[in-house]
Amino acid sequence: MARAAQIRLAPEDVDRMMDSINDILSFCALVGDLDCADTPDFTWRMKKLPSRRLDEAGDWADRDRFKSMSPTMEGDFFRVPRIHAED
């Protein structure tokens, strides 16, 4: 499980982690055994749906000003730092 989650553990921490995982799974089993037959389904009632704009292509008048404020551009694209390193 630690390998799948890409967590590196020292060998002496594995037993403690397994105890924690077993505690979580035991709690999940308890929740699964609850009688929820009389519990109403959860619904989200909104009084008014949020307004939506039309999804139409158009010219963006401030595009060049916005691009000029970007720290790094590559052609017409923003260059952003990598947030996930591939092993």
User: Which pLDDT band, with edges at 50, 70 and 90, does 2 fall under?
Assistant: low
Q: How many CB atoms lie within 10 A of CB 18?
A: 13
For 52-78, what is each residue's pLDDT tens digit? 888 888 888 888 888 888 888 888 888
Sign, CA dihedral 35-36-38-39, equals: positive
Question: What predicted TM-score, i.e. pTM, was given to this entire model?
Answer: 0.39
Sequence-separated (6 or more) residues with CB below 8 Å from residue 2: 8, 9, 14, 17
Contact between residue 79 and residue 73 where contact means Cβ atoms under 8 Å apart: yes
